[in-house]
Structure 1
Amino acid sequence: MEQRKLVLYIASSLDGYIATNEHNLDWLFSIDGEGDNGYSKFYDTIDTILIGRITYDWIIEHENGRFPYQGKECYVFSKTKKEDNEHVTFIDKNIVQFLQDLKNKNGKNIWLVGGGELLSTFIKEKLVDEIIINIAPTLLGKGIPLFKNNDFQTSLTLKNINRFNQFVELSYEVVR
Protein backbone atom coordinates (compact mmCIF):
# COMPACT_ATOMS: atom_id res chain seq x y z
CA MET A 1 0.00 0.00 0.00
CA GLU A 2 1.34 3.40 -1.00
CA GLN A 3 1.33 5.98 1.78
CA ARG A 4 -1.01 8.93 1.43
CA LYS A 5 0.58 12.31 0.78
CA LEU A 6 0.14 15.51 2.73
CA VAL A 7 -0.29 18.32 0.22
CA LEU A 8 -0.25 22.04 0.89
CA TYR A 9 -2.51 23.64 -1.72
CA ILE A 10 -2.74 27.41 -1.28
CA ALA A 11 -2.72 30.79 -2.99
CA SER A 12 -0.12 33.44 -2.27
CA SER A 13 0.77 36.94 -3.37
CA LEU A 14 3.95 37.21 -5.43
CA ASP A 15 5.76 38.51 -2.35
CA GLY A 16 4.76 35.48 -0.28
CA TYR A 17 1.69 36.48 1.75
CA ILE A 18 -1.48 34.42 2.08
CA ALA A 19 -3.58 37.22 3.57
CA THR A 20 -3.32 40.76 4.88
CA ASN A 21 -2.60 41.27 8.58
CA GLU A 22 -6.38 41.60 9.03
CA HIS A 23 -6.89 38.14 7.40
CA ASN A 24 -8.41 39.83 4.34
CA LEU A 25 -8.44 37.96 1.01
CA ASP A 26 -10.23 40.52 -1.17
CA TRP A 27 -7.02 41.02 -3.19
CA LEU A 28 -7.11 37.33 -4.17
CA PHE A 29 -10.67 37.38 -5.51
CA SER A 30 -10.12 40.54 -7.54
CA ILE A 31 -7.67 38.81 -9.91
CA ASP A 32 -8.81 37.20 -13.14
CA GLY A 33 -8.30 33.47 -13.04
CA GLU A 34 -9.42 30.75 -15.37
CA GLY A 35 -12.38 28.62 -14.32
CA ASP A 36 -11.64 27.58 -10.76
CA ASN A 37 -7.85 27.75 -11.29
CA GLY A 38 -7.49 23.95 -11.06
CA TYR A 39 -9.24 23.68 -7.69
CA SER A 40 -11.78 21.00 -8.72
CA LYS A 41 -9.11 18.81 -10.24
CA PHE A 42 -7.06 19.05 -7.04
CA TYR A 43 -10.11 18.60 -4.77
CA ASP A 44 -10.85 15.24 -6.42
CA THR A 45 -7.41 13.92 -5.34
CA ILE A 46 -8.07 14.34 -1.60
CA ASP A 47 -10.49 12.88 0.93
CA THR A 48 -9.11 14.35 4.14
CA ILE A 49 -8.62 17.98 5.13
CA LEU A 50 -6.50 19.49 7.90
CA ILE A 51 -7.21 23.00 9.15
CA GLY A 52 -5.72 25.17 11.86
CA ARG A 53 -8.14 26.71 14.34
CA ILE A 54 -7.65 30.33 13.18
CA THR A 55 -8.21 29.31 9.55
CA TYR A 56 -11.28 27.28 10.53
CA ASP A 57 -12.78 30.22 12.42
CA TRP A 58 -12.13 32.48 9.40
CA ILE A 59 -13.83 29.98 7.07
CA ILE A 60 -16.92 29.71 9.28
CA GLU A 61 -17.18 33.49 9.59
CA HIS A 62 -16.69 34.22 5.87
CA GLU A 63 -18.80 31.35 4.55
CA ASN A 64 -21.76 32.53 6.67
CA GLY A 65 -21.73 29.28 8.63
CA ARG A 66 -21.81 27.08 5.51
CA PHE A 67 -18.97 24.57 5.70
CA PRO A 68 -17.31 24.34 2.25
CA TYR A 69 -15.70 20.91 2.65
CA GLN A 70 -18.74 18.71 3.27
CA GLY A 71 -18.23 15.08 2.34
CA LYS A 72 -14.54 15.12 3.27
CA GLU A 73 -13.01 13.93 6.53
CA CYS A 74 -12.01 17.18 8.25
CA TYR A 75 -9.80 17.76 11.28
CA VAL A 76 -9.27 21.09 13.00
CA PHE A 77 -6.17 21.47 15.16
CA SER A 78 -6.74 23.56 18.26
CA LYS A 79 -4.90 23.99 21.55
CA THR A 80 -8.29 24.41 23.23
CA LYS A 81 -10.53 21.39 22.75
CA LYS A 82 -13.85 22.24 21.18
CA GLU A 83 -16.93 20.12 20.67
CA ASP A 84 -16.85 18.15 17.41
CA ASN A 85 -19.66 18.89 14.98
CA GLU A 86 -21.19 17.23 11.93
CA HIS A 87 -18.39 18.51 9.68
CA VAL A 88 -15.17 18.48 11.73
CA THR A 89 -13.32 16.66 14.47
CA PHE A 90 -11.19 18.86 16.73
CA ILE A 91 -7.71 17.57 17.53
CA ASP A 92 -5.71 18.76 20.53
CA LYS A 93 -3.26 15.88 20.88
CA ASN A 94 0.19 15.26 19.42
CA ILE A 95 -0.31 16.52 15.86
CA VAL A 96 2.83 14.86 14.49
CA GLN A 97 1.80 11.38 15.63
CA PHE A 98 -1.79 12.01 14.56
CA LEU A 99 -0.67 12.93 11.05
CA GLN A 100 1.71 9.98 10.77
CA ASP A 101 -1.15 7.65 11.72
CA LEU A 102 -3.47 9.39 9.25
CA LYS A 103 -0.96 9.04 6.40
CA ASN A 104 -0.80 5.28 7.01
CA LYS A 105 -4.56 4.82 6.67
CA ASN A 106 -6.12 3.84 3.33
CA GLY A 107 -7.43 6.75 1.32
CA LYS A 108 -6.67 9.59 -1.03
CA ASN A 109 -4.24 12.41 -0.31
CA ILE A 110 -4.58 14.81 2.61
CA TRP A 111 -4.97 18.57 2.08
CA LEU A 112 -3.40 21.02 4.49
CA VAL A 113 -5.79 23.95 3.95
CA GLY A 114 -4.10 26.41 6.17
CA GLY A 115 -2.59 27.54 9.32
CA GLY A 116 0.94 28.89 9.38
CA GLU A 117 1.62 27.13 12.67
CA LEU A 118 0.50 23.77 11.31
CA LEU A 119 2.44 24.21 8.09
CA SER A 120 5.59 25.19 9.94
CA THR A 121 5.35 22.18 12.26
CA PHE A 122 4.62 19.73 9.46
CA ILE A 123 7.48 21.02 7.28
CA LYS A 124 9.91 20.94 10.20
CA GLU A 125 8.87 17.34 10.96
CA LYS A 126 9.23 16.44 7.24
CA LEU A 127 5.56 15.45 6.95
CA VAL A 128 4.65 17.65 3.94
CA ASP A 129 5.05 15.71 0.69
CA GLU A 130 3.88 18.21 -1.94
CA ILE A 131 3.42 21.96 -2.14
CA ILE A 132 1.11 23.49 -4.74
CA ILE A 133 1.05 27.29 -4.74
CA ASN A 134 -1.12 29.49 -6.93
CA ILE A 135 0.79 32.75 -7.25
CA ALA A 136 -1.34 35.88 -7.66
CA PRO A 137 0.15 38.88 -9.49
CA THR A 138 -0.10 41.12 -6.44
CA LEU A 139 2.44 42.57 -4.02
CA LEU A 140 0.91 43.01 -0.58
CA GLY A 141 4.04 44.39 1.07
CA LYS A 142 3.09 42.90 4.42
CA GLY A 143 0.63 40.42 5.83
CA ILE A 144 0.50 36.82 6.94
CA PRO A 145 3.47 35.04 5.37
CA LEU A 146 3.09 31.74 3.57
CA PHE A 147 6.17 30.42 5.33
CA LYS A 148 7.17 31.51 8.81
CA ASN A 149 10.78 32.19 9.70
CA ASN A 150 12.30 28.85 10.62
CA ASP A 151 15.57 27.25 11.59
CA PHE A 152 15.57 24.43 9.05
CA GLN A 153 15.98 24.07 5.30
CA THR A 154 13.71 22.11 2.96
CA SER A 155 14.63 21.21 -0.61
CA LEU A 156 11.97 20.91 -3.30
CA THR A 157 11.77 19.54 -6.83
CA LEU A 158 9.59 21.36 -9.35
CA LYS A 159 7.00 18.92 -10.73
CA ASN A 160 4.71 21.10 -12.81
CA ILE A 161 3.76 24.63 -13.85
CA ASN A 162 0.24 25.65 -14.91
CA ARG A 163 -1.13 29.00 -15.93
CA PHE A 164 -4.69 30.03 -15.12
CA ASN A 165 -5.01 33.43 -16.79
CA GLN A 166 -3.26 35.76 -14.29
CA PHE A 167 -2.37 32.98 -11.80
CA VAL A 168 0.65 30.70 -12.03
CA GLU A 169 0.44 27.35 -10.25
CA LEU A 170 3.73 25.86 -9.12
CA SER A 171 3.77 22.22 -7.98
CA TYR A 172 6.69 20.95 -5.94
CA GLU A 173 7.62 17.64 -4.39
CA VAL A 174 9.47 17.76 -1.08
CA VAL A 175 12.91 16.11 -1.35
CA ARG A 176 13.49 13.51 1.38
Structure 2
Amino acid sequence: MARAVFYGAISLDGYLADKEDRLEWLYRQEGGELVPYDEFYQMIDYTMMGRRTYEAVKRDAELEDIYPEKENYVFSRSGIEVDENLHVVAKDPVEFIKELPANKTVWVVGGGALLKPVIEAGLIEEWWIQIVPILLGEGVPLFLPQANQQKLQLLETEQFGQFAQLHLKK
Protein backbone atom coordinates (compact mmCIF):
# COMPACT_ATOMS: atom_id res chain seq x y z
CA MET A 1 0.00 0.00 0.00
CA ALA A 2 1.27 3.47 -0.91
CA ARG A 3 1.82 6.19 1.67
CA ALA A 4 -1.13 8.64 1.43
CA VAL A 5 -0.63 12.34 2.18
CA PHE A 6 -2.70 15.51 1.99
CA TYR A 7 -1.43 18.94 0.96
CA GLY A 8 -3.77 21.86 0.40
CA ALA A 9 -5.06 25.27 1.38
CA ILE A 10 -8.31 26.08 3.12
CA SER A 11 -10.10 29.23 4.19
CA LEU A 12 -10.10 30.09 7.88
CA ASP A 13 -13.61 28.62 8.10
CA GLY A 14 -12.47 25.32 6.55
CA TYR A 15 -13.38 25.50 2.87
CA LEU A 16 -11.33 24.21 -0.07
CA ALA A 17 -13.39 26.13 -2.62
CA ASP A 18 -16.12 28.75 -2.51
CA LYS A 19 -19.84 28.01 -3.02
CA GLU A 20 -19.39 28.07 -6.82
CA ASP A 21 -16.49 25.56 -6.63
CA ARG A 22 -14.09 28.42 -7.44
CA LEU A 23 -10.48 28.76 -6.29
CA GLU A 24 -9.90 32.37 -7.31
CA TRP A 25 -10.02 33.49 -3.64
CA LEU A 26 -6.96 31.30 -3.04
CA TYR A 27 -4.90 32.39 -6.04
CA ARG A 28 -5.35 36.08 -5.15
CA GLN A 29 -3.88 35.71 -1.66
CA GLU A 30 -0.60 37.40 -0.83
CA GLY A 31 2.17 34.95 0.02
CA GLY A 32 0.92 31.89 -1.84
CA GLU A 33 4.05 31.96 -3.96
CA LEU A 34 6.12 31.56 -0.77
CA VAL A 35 4.56 28.22 0.25
CA PRO A 36 7.16 25.46 -0.43
CA TYR A 37 4.96 23.53 -2.85
CA ASP A 38 7.88 22.38 -5.04
CA GLU A 39 9.49 20.49 -2.16
CA PHE A 40 6.25 18.65 -1.51
CA TYR A 41 5.62 17.99 -5.21
CA GLN A 42 9.00 16.30 -5.62
CA MET A 43 8.21 13.71 -2.93
CA ILE A 44 4.99 12.38 -4.50
CA ASP A 45 4.51 9.76 -7.20
CA TYR A 46 0.74 9.88 -7.78
CA THR A 47 -2.13 12.31 -7.41
CA MET A 48 -5.76 11.42 -6.86
CA MET A 49 -8.65 13.86 -6.89
CA GLY A 50 -12.41 13.95 -7.27
CA ARG A 51 -14.14 15.17 -10.41
CA ARG A 52 -15.13 18.52 -8.86
CA THR A 53 -11.56 19.17 -7.71
CA TYR A 54 -10.24 18.32 -11.17
CA GLU A 55 -12.70 20.69 -12.82
CA ALA A 56 -11.91 23.52 -10.37
CA VAL A 57 -8.14 23.14 -10.75
CA LYS A 58 -8.42 22.87 -14.55
CA ARG A 59 -10.55 26.02 -14.71
CA ASP A 60 -8.93 28.24 -12.06
CA ALA A 61 -5.25 27.26 -11.70
CA GLU A 62 -4.19 28.41 -15.17
CA LEU A 63 -1.90 25.40 -15.57
CA GLU A 64 -0.90 24.13 -18.99
CA ASP A 65 -0.81 20.57 -17.65
CA ILE A 66 -2.16 19.41 -14.31
CA TYR A 67 0.64 17.83 -12.28
CA PRO A 68 3.03 16.92 -15.10
CA GLU A 69 5.54 14.10 -14.50
CA LYS A 70 3.13 12.37 -12.10
CA GLU A 71 0.58 9.61 -12.55
CA ASN A 72 -2.75 11.38 -12.01
CA TYR A 73 -6.15 9.87 -11.25
CA VAL A 74 -9.58 11.50 -11.27
CA PHE A 75 -12.32 9.67 -9.37
CA SER A 76 -15.71 9.87 -11.04
CA ARG A 77 -18.73 7.62 -11.27
CA SER A 78 -19.89 9.35 -14.44
CA GLY A 79 -18.19 9.77 -17.78
CA ILE A 80 -15.78 12.67 -17.80
CA GLU A 81 -13.25 13.92 -20.33
CA VAL A 82 -9.83 14.57 -18.77
CA ASP A 83 -6.45 15.70 -20.06
CA GLU A 84 -4.29 13.00 -21.59
CA ASN A 85 -1.97 12.81 -18.57
CA LEU A 86 -4.87 11.81 -16.26
CA HIS A 87 -6.81 8.58 -15.81
CA VAL A 88 -10.45 8.28 -14.74
CA VAL A 89 -11.11 5.81 -11.91
CA ALA A 90 -14.53 4.62 -10.73
CA LYS A 91 -13.38 2.37 -7.87
CA ASP A 92 -13.30 2.86 -4.12
CA PRO A 93 -10.48 5.30 -3.20
CA VAL A 94 -9.43 3.23 -0.16
CA GLU A 95 -8.99 0.10 -2.27
CA PHE A 96 -7.18 2.14 -4.92
CA ILE A 97 -4.59 3.37 -2.38
CA LYS A 98 -4.16 -0.12 -0.96
CA GLU A 99 -3.34 -1.44 -4.45
CA LEU A 100 -0.57 1.11 -5.10
CA PRO A 101 3.05 0.00 -4.51
CA ALA A 102 4.30 0.34 -0.92
CA ASN A 103 7.38 2.34 -1.89
CA LYS A 104 5.30 5.14 -3.46
CA THR A 105 3.49 8.23 -2.17
CA VAL A 106 0.04 9.34 -3.31
CA TRP A 107 -1.22 12.89 -2.82
CA VAL A 108 -4.94 12.92 -2.06
CA VAL A 109 -5.63 16.34 -3.58
CA GLY A 110 -9.27 16.44 -2.57
CA GLY A 111 -12.04 17.17 -2.15
CA GLY A 112 -13.98 16.37 0.92
CA ALA A 113 -16.11 13.57 -0.55
CA LEU A 114 -13.03 11.73 -1.87
CA LEU A 115 -11.06 12.41 1.29
CA LYS A 116 -13.74 11.22 3.75
CA PRO A 117 -13.40 7.44 3.22
CA VAL A 118 -9.61 7.74 3.08
CA ILE A 119 -9.59 9.57 6.43
CA GLU A 120 -12.06 7.11 7.98
CA ALA A 121 -9.80 4.23 6.88
CA GLY A 122 -6.89 5.97 8.64
CA LEU A 123 -4.78 6.11 5.48
CA ILE A 124 -3.58 9.73 5.50
CA GLU A 125 -0.18 9.52 7.17
CA GLU A 126 0.89 13.13 6.84
CA TRP A 127 -0.89 16.47 6.35
CA TRP A 128 0.25 19.89 5.16
CA ILE A 129 -2.66 22.31 5.50
CA GLN A 130 -2.25 25.98 4.62
CA ILE A 131 -4.81 28.22 6.30
CA VAL A 132 -5.68 31.44 4.50
CA PRO A 133 -7.12 34.35 6.53
CA ILE A 134 -10.37 34.65 4.64
CA LEU A 135 -13.89 33.69 5.72
CA LEU A 136 -15.79 32.33 2.73
CA GLY A 137 -18.99 31.74 4.71
CA GLU A 138 -19.88 28.66 2.68
CA GLY A 139 -18.32 26.42 0.10
CA VAL A 140 -16.71 23.01 -0.30
CA PRO A 141 -15.47 21.83 3.11
CA LEU A 142 -12.20 20.00 3.55
CA PHE A 143 -13.66 17.77 6.25
CA LEU A 144 -17.05 16.10 6.03
CA PRO A 145 -18.58 14.51 9.14
CA GLN A 146 -16.47 11.49 10.14
CA ALA A 147 -17.47 8.20 11.74
CA ASN A 148 -14.52 8.23 14.13
CA GLN A 149 -12.02 10.53 15.80
CA GLN A 150 -8.39 10.62 14.79
CA LYS A 151 -5.73 12.25 16.88
CA LEU A 152 -2.88 13.83 14.93
CA GLN A 153 0.52 15.06 16.04
CA LEU A 154 1.45 18.66 15.21
CA LEU A 155 4.99 18.53 13.82
CA GLU A 156 5.46 22.14 12.75
CA THR A 157 3.77 25.44 12.01
CA GLU A 158 5.19 27.94 9.53
CA GLN A 159 4.09 31.26 8.10
CA PHE A 160 4.40 32.05 4.39
CA GLY A 161 3.11 35.58 3.82
CA GLN A 162 -0.59 35.41 4.70
CA PHE A 163 -0.55 31.59 4.77
CA ALA A 164 -0.15 29.64 8.02
CA GLN A 165 0.92 26.05 7.36
CA LEU A 166 0.23 23.20 9.75
CA HIS A 167 2.33 20.06 9.29
CA LEU A 168 0.68 17.09 11.01
CA LYS A 169 1.33 13.37 11.23
CA LYS A 170 -0.88 10.43 12.12
Letter in 2 for 1:41: E
Query: 1:166 corresponds to which residue?
Result: 162
Give the stretch that moved more between structures: 123-132 or 55-64: 55-64
- Check the 8 A contact 2:5/2:107 in 1, yes or no: yes
Distance 1:138 1:63 in 2: 19
Structure-1-length-normalised TM-score: 0.86
Structure-2-length-normalised TM-score: 0.89
Pairing partner for 1:146 from 142, 146, 164? 142
Secondary structure of the corresponding residue to residue 129 of structure 1? strand
Distance 1:135 1:40 in 2: 18
Distance 1:84 1:165 in 2: 33
Listed as ranges, the gaps of 5+ residues in structure 1 are none
Secondary structure of the corresponding residue to residue 45 of structure 2? strand
Change (3 A) 1:162 1:4: farther
Letter in 2 for 1:5: R
CA drift of 1:81 comes to 4.8
Listed as ranges, the gaps of 5+ residues in structure 2 are none
Distance 2:81 2:140 in 1: 28
Pairing partner for 1:26 from 12, 16, 24? 24
C-alpha deviations, 1:145-168, integer Å up to 9, x for none?
110122221110001111101111
Pairing partner for 2:127 from 128, 131, 152? 131
Secondary structure of the corresponding residue to residue 52 of structure 2? helix
Distance 1:84 1:30 in 2: 26
Query: 1:16 corresponds to which residue?
Result: 14
Aligned CA RMSD, in angstroms, stands at 2.0
CA drift of 1:76 comes to 1.0
CA drift of 1:127 comes to 1.2
CA drift of 1:65 comes to 7.8
- Check the 8 A contact 2:23/2:57 in 1, yes or no: no
The answer to whether 1:66 aligns with 2:100 is: no
Q: How many residues align?
A: 170
Distance 1:57 1:137 in 2: 24
CA drift of 1:61 comes to 2.9
CA drift of 1:80 comes to 2.2
CA drift of 1:89 comes to 1.4
Query: 1:98 corresponds to which residue?
Result: 96
What percentage of residue pairs aligned between the two structures are identical? Answer: 38
Letter in 1 for 2:130: N
Letter in 1 for 2:10: S
Distance 1:57 1:30 in 2: 19
- Check the 8 A contact 2:19/2:138 in 1, yes or no: yes
CA drift of 1:24 comes to 1.9
